[in-house]
Structure 1
């Protein structure tokens, strides 16, 4: 536009503004602005402000079909289930074929114990949109609570396929856990491999896959899975530890040491120093093993039962049985460990060897008192 014409246009706008200081806004535009404002406030967690914006919008466009669902979402986020349900049901009158609304209604009905109504609503949601992963998840939850594990498995698997990438790992793990709880490990391995092959390679999925590969005796694949998981979980030292233990079991001493050192870079833990000491002992390097034992004592947490048990075993190897018994007797006397027959019996056997009859009696007494297994094995 030539500069002269642009100037005339601006002058015309200024003259119009001078004549009327109040700009005229179309009511529909104002309502749309309030809808956007309320939605933004909702997404930022300012629920009361969002409700106020939607209320103001309703005064302008009372029959806007988006309003009840929007208000329902706010109430749902506030935990006001009854109010949310009423809004969503109103929304269904206006838009009966909106799957998300049916899904929300089904979710609320499930939370309030109306299971059959929830199943009906959620199935309607799926009928309208088969990839509604929220509805699929809720159906999985309902079937799981009813003990219908195959149906729960099917719906969690479908939810994993339909959900956004960032949500897929949770659904995959839920499905895998159902199989694992039923000792259907071959199926769990197949499922985890399938989704990992489809790109669902979150640390938790790779870790679960590694666990199943170990159970299946596929150690090289398990080590690779744990390594990848470790690379994606830089704050988790246990994954590198698992890699090291696999390599140690395969006699790959250098690889095991390297993996254990990676674990120590993440966190200095006694259990890893014990594992390194055992590698040195296997090579008849007692001096290096003793150095690792010293590091283990420096880094011991005192709350990790597995760590303390392995430390006690290493002490026995070094002939320091009295020190090992102190660790075991302290562990065995803790209320949380009182029902562990294995721990009590291990403590009793070492105490018997050292002729500590008081500790033998206490440990065996806890075994008998808790009616735990292995009573006949108590020395």
Structure 2
């Protein structure tokens, strides 16, 4: 079966899919124990249940409100306090979170994050000694020795104790992997204390060492430093150098344009308070965690934005975390907060359009993309996404136009991206331009190193068009060998076996395909055909009837033929003619090459 969608929604299981993910470094009581704590007639029980429902539905602000209500109405469960301050933190309601965190400490909650929440709140309120004490109260050695010094550096800077601040950073100098942290925060602290020479030395230690990473946020801060110190050419050269080995040139070109527009002596520092510096430090830690513990990343990102709401990189990261947790409404809300002047505004709106597209809100997505096209008329990503939407809505003529425009403007690094050729080939095939489709799909196959999706698509189309049987079968078998757990490839494999007259083998594969794709109309139709040929006629009719009710790939069905099969059954298929010895030999060669 041909695969309809290229862009897949990858749903990861994060902290918000169950309440247990929010209990960090704590013993988790069973839900039933929590429920037994509240008598059925109690108002607080109703608030608690409402909170749980909102929590399960991923409406976390509402869940936090109901948990707060339950506490105010008399609930005093320690786990409930824990749940409240963590939920409030992830929603950016840090002042409220700190209030409940302090109450939770009195209930012997000593999780790591309770102290980070209180630290951020105390720092925001300029209670720097209390903030330092909160770090000292952390029991976990990793957090105490690895993260604590970074945060303390900025808290000592806030106390105007520059030397102590710099001493805290020395621990990072010992680890090559953390040298970027060391120089970046030294530079920012020197800059905060108006020691321009020392700040520049530290910043340029990162720039001049090819082994040290420089993030986009670091790029923003360093170029801001250069502009404030009358070195605009250095700022521009740094961005141009960075763009030379970075594929996301649109964001960098916008940053460069913004720099070129700035008038002399009109640049304000990005980090003009120690609280913002602490926010940068916290966000650095969030970035480390986001690849393997998104729940912790979400907490640190929220704290970073609390201390520095102007950090557009942290804001887009927070939105991306919401998106990865399937919280699309919240993600869109956060993406929309990006200022039009931000270099990340383009990326944010592209992400919004993709969310809407993946959720089949095609009109809304097109509106955003066409508005973006007015500003970026030759943008590859915008043109490609417009092609995707038109293909997915069966407007293949326009899809072809957009895909070809995307290829015309594709940067060198993107020109070899097989996905656009694959998508263009599908659009040509569905627009009955088979010669063009075949040529483009062959190119996609070549540059993708024989990707199983393209092998499957081209092989299946050839099979359905009664062309190139030997090559079609080999491609489908190769795709199946590469990716035997993909439902669409399973369907093609089963259908190929059916067309070869191997009904029993086809049955085994198609039944498995139906398990993977239970809502797919084509799979049901194919399974019905094979059931009929093996004598399971009632099951065959059920599958055909079911196929007519399903929505996935329904446009690929021949509904009149299915109705005819329901009346008279499936005709005995004429087995395709293929060179079996050649196929067997090629499959042996394929197996031996692995």
Q: TM-score, normalised by structure 2?
A: 0.37
- What pairs with 1:321-332 in structure 2 (closer than 5 Å)? 321-322=501-502, 326-327=505-506, 329-330=508-509, 332=511
* Structure 1 residue aligned with 2:500: 320
> What is the distance in 2 between the residues matched to 1:221 and 1:252?
14
Gaps of 5+ in 2: 1-165, 207-212, 214-268, 287-295, 547-568, 570-594
> What is the distance in 2 between the residues matched to 1:145 and 1:53?
29
- How far apart are 1:309 and its partner, in Å? 2.0
Looking at secondary structure, tell me which structure has more helix per residue.
1
> What is the distance in 2 between the residues matched to 1:180 and 1:65?
49
Greater shift in the superposed pair: 44-53 or 290-299: 44-53
Which of 148, 171, 178 lines up with 1:47 in the alignment?
178
- How far apart are 1:172 and its partner, in Å? 3.6
- How far apart are 1:296 and its partner, in Å? 2.3
Q: Deviations over 1:312-354 (max 9, x none)?
A: 44565xx43425x6245235348x9457354874565234212
Larger C-alpha radius of gyration, 1 or 2? 1
* Structure 2 residue aligned with 1:277: 462
Give yes or no for contact 1:169–1:204 (8 Å, CA) kept in 2.
Answer: no
- What pairs with 1:150-169 in structure 2 (closer than 5 Å)? 152-157=331-336, 159=338, 161-164=340-343
Give yes or no for contact 1:277–1:293 (8 Å, CA) kept in 2.
Answer: yes
* Structure 1 residue aligned with 2:403: 226
Instruction: Count residues with an aligned counterpart.
Output: 287
Q: TM-score, normalised by structure 1?
A: 0.53
Give yes or no for contact 1:176–1:188 (8 Å, CA) kept in 2.
Answer: yes
Structure 1 residues 173 and 249: CA distance shift in structure 2, 3 A: same
Give yes or no for contact 1:139–1:155 (8 Å, CA) kept in 2.
Answer: yes
Q: Deviations over 1:233-276 (max 9, x none)?
A: 45543432321222222222322222222223224343243255
Structure 1 residues 312 and 170: CA distance shift in structure 2, 3 A: farther
* Structure 2 residue aligned with 1:265: 446
The Cα RMSD (Å) is 5.5
Structure 1 residues 277 and 139: CA distance shift in structure 2, 3 A: closer
- How far apart are 1:188 and its partner, in Å? 0.9
Gaps of 5+ in 1: 1-34, 78-91, 126-131, 368-378
* Structure 1 residue aligned with 2:362: 185
Q: SS of 1:332's equivalent?
A: helix
* Structure 2 residue aligned with 1:15: none
Structure 1 residues 294 and 111: CA distance shift in structure 2, 3 A: closer
- What pairs with 1:1-379 in structure 2 (closer than 5 Å)? 46-47=177-178, 51=182, 95-96=272-273, 102=279, 111=297, 113=299, 120-123=306-309, 125=310, 132-138=311-317, 140=319, 152-157=331-336, 159=338, 161-164=340-343, 170-180=347-357, 183-199=360-376, 205-229=382-406, 233-266=414-447, 267-268=449-450, 269-274=454-459, 277=462, 281=465, 286=466, 288-297=467-476, 299-302=478-481, 303=483, 304-313=486-495, 316=498, 319-322=499-502, 326-327=505-506, 329-330=508-509, 332-333=511-512, 337=515, 340=518, 342=520, 345-346=524-525, 348-355=527-534
> What is the distance in 2 between the residues matched to 1:107 and 1:61?
18
- How far apart are 1:186 and its partner, in Å? 1.0
